[in-house]
Structure 1
Amino acid sequence: MKKIAVLTSGGDAPGMNAAIRAVVRRGIFKQLEVVGIKHGYQGLMEGDYIPLSLGSVGDIIHRGGTILQTARCEAFKTEDGQKQGLSRLKENGIDGLVVIGGDGSFNGALKLAKMGFPTVGIPGTIDNDIACTDYTIGFDTAVNTVIEAIDKIRDTATSHERTYVIEVMGRQAGNIALWSGLAGGAESILIPETEADMDDIISRLLQGQKRGKKHSIIIVAEGVATGNKIGEIIRERTGFETRVTVLGHIQRGGTPSAFDRVLGSRMGATAVDFLVEGKTGVMVAVQNNQMVAVPLEEAVSRPHSLPLSLYELAHSLSI
């Protein structure tokens, strides 16, 4: 192992730059040459490679997004695309690859590993929806972004005595909604993992009004319904003045939290260690605060499980 490459693929997540920095500096520390691949698998296929040095990753640990840019690439899902990518890697003398991204990115990494190319994945997605790891890069920052918005919206909700519905990201996973809802003291949380009980939500709102409650916050993951739809139902069934806020892509950007900077640094360095040790077709996972190797095949085939105990806790505390 003399020369390795790193790429980011899929949706960006705060902390990816910390991981890139760690891959580069750990690689150089271990006497490796490190190359960055721009624009994900598209760049891998097209040969969009750039050398990375100690200086090139200076002052990036605090920046959101990814300095390598990212993209989704349909062509790489084909056998021809994968062969083209593998050929490009070999043409550039690359001996190992680190892929930072989510499950779609890991499927591509797994294909390369099965073709015999040393590949290690790093879970980077704000949804925290990758199996076999306690946390993914970007999740903590995204939750804190939502919490900041909830706190500000609550000030207005209190002042105007309104009900606010806040729509957050999460098409198939409700982690952002659940964690931010619990931390933000939301009255109700709607997530894809449980069936939305509008009767219960309406009942809680009406009970709150009877005991003198002047405002409420409802968090809904986009995979359940649009915030506007939930707001419309609440208005129709309660008559309450209801406002809707859709946070959208503001949840993806921003300065990464200290947790995500440390997580990205640990995962990036560990990925290099795994390649040097000869491990391939694995993902760097954090389990019980320890960095472990999990087969990529297991990570992409097993469904992500959300801790429903947190949902039950939030439900019991929001009475």
Structure 2
Amino acid sequence: MGKKIKKIGVMTSGGDAPGMNAAIRAVVRACSYYNVECVGIYRGFQGLIEGDFVALTARNVNNTINRGGTILKTARSEEFRTKEGREKAFKQLQNAKVDAMVLIGGDGTFTGGMIFYEEYKFPSIGIPGTIDNDIFGTTSTIGFDTALNTVVEAIDKIRDTASSHNRLFFVEVMGRDAGFIALNSGVGSGAEEILIPEEDLGLDRLLESLKRSKRSGKSSSIVVVAEGDKIGKNVFELANYVEENLPEYEVRVSVLGHMQRGGSPSCFDRVLASRLGVKSVELLLDGKSNLMVGLVNNKIQTTDLDKAVKGQHQINKELLRVSDIMSI
């Protein structure tokens, strides 16, 4: 039986995602509900090393559920990758009498928590917060749904101008290693082609698909490209290749970039963050640690942190099949 948890720290680390504030709010209010102190850790693991802590109460997180970004800020920490840096972090937690942590972030965040647990047996629970949705052990990460809505709204507007000028638009979305945003937003926005890292479409097949669209009477097309797609070195090189080989198309490129990370979180992300935040606190109070909370079949389930980091969240093959049918 571990020692009783009296104070829990909460941090956000890695890339920001809409809904992180909702998760922070849930952790803080769950702590208040169970009469446990809560401290916010600014700037992720770097703030942990520097002891950049602030006491948080239920009233401190008023009006945060609707805010994008993270009120606790986020940063990457090279120092935490060193044994010396982690030793400093542990001493800061001891000095502040923090007994456990909730880590909101992605695989890098969870890896840090895992190593910290191995070295110091310090209890922590991970909450998956990333727009990429590339974490094993959950069907949806916090921020993914909001990012999808942002992308679809942007593509809808791009389609208006594509149709008006008979243009072919390549729209690059985030997803360096995973195509979840591209695939889902592509289907949702009616894209003619979707290029993702998991499926190598190939230049010849892309050209044939665009020719087929032209023959079928389409005067404009949208191609959604995940930034990690392997066909070309980058989306601009890909667009140039298509323009050279299909001169009948007037080609344009739109890179959506960091706008996908911002904005007020969707209702789905707010509810998901609230559920995961409450469960993370309850797990720590029950003596559980080194786990990630996630959503599977609309139920909150736990996954070992090492499995969450090493496991692979598979792309939806059925959705790929649907996208092929819809592009006819």
Which of the five TM-score ranges fits, normalised by the shorter chain?
A: over 0.9
**Structure 2 Cα separation of the partners of residues 138 and 211 of structure 1:** 37
Runs ≥4 residues deviating over 3 A: none
SS of aligned partner of 2:223 = strand
Residues 15-74 of structure 1 deviation map (CA, whole Å, 9 limit, x = unaligned): 000000000001000000100000000000000000001111000000000000000001
SS of aligned partner of 2:76 = coil
Q: CA deviation at 1:309?
A: 2.0
Q: Which blocks of at least 5 consecutive residues in structure 1 are unaligned?
A: none
The count of residues paired between Structure 1 and Structure 2 equals 319
Q: CA deviation at 1:268?
A: 0.6
Answer with 243-252 or 223-232: which moved more: 223-232
The answer (yes or no) to whether the contact 1:42–1:72 under 8 Å persists in 2 is yes
Amino acid of the structure 2 residue aligned with 1:299? A
SS of aligned partner of 2:272 = helix
Alignment match, 1:299: 308
Alignment match, 1:233: 241
SS of aligned partner of 1:4 = strand
Alignment match, 2:293: 284
RMSD: 0.9
Q: CA deviation at 1:196?
A: 2.7
**Structure 1 Cα separation of the partners of residues 10 and 128 of structure 2:** 13
Alignment match, 2:160: 155
Alignment match, 2:227: 222
Asked if 1:258 corresponds to 2:267, the answer is yes
**Structure 2 Cα separation of the partners of residues 268 and 292 of structure 1:** 13
Q: CA deviation at 1:211?
A: 2.5
The answer (yes or no) to whether the contact 2:152–2:185 under 8 Å persists in 1 is yes
Alignment match, 2:63: 59
**Structure 2 Cα separation of the partners of residues 212 and 284 of structure 1:** 48
The answer (yes or no) to whether the contact 2:137–2:302 under 8 Å persists in 1 is no
Out of 70, 76, 80, the position equivalent to 2:84 is 80
**Structure 1 Cα separation of the partners of residues 14 and 33 of structure 2:** 28
The answer (yes or no) to whether the contact 1:3–1:94 under 8 Å persists in 2 is yes
Q: Which blocks of at least 5 consecutive residues in structure 2 are unaligned?
A: none
Identity %: 51
The answer (yes or no) to whether the contact 1:82–1:111 under 8 Å persists in 2 is no
Answer with 113-122 or 163-172: which moved more: 113-122
The answer (yes or no) to whether the contact 2:276–2:300 under 8 Å persists in 1 is yes
Amino acid of the structure 2 residue aligned with 1:238? L
TM-score, structure 1 normalization: 0.98
TM-score, structure 2 normalization: 0.96
Out of 191, 200, 204, the position equivalent to 1:199 is 204
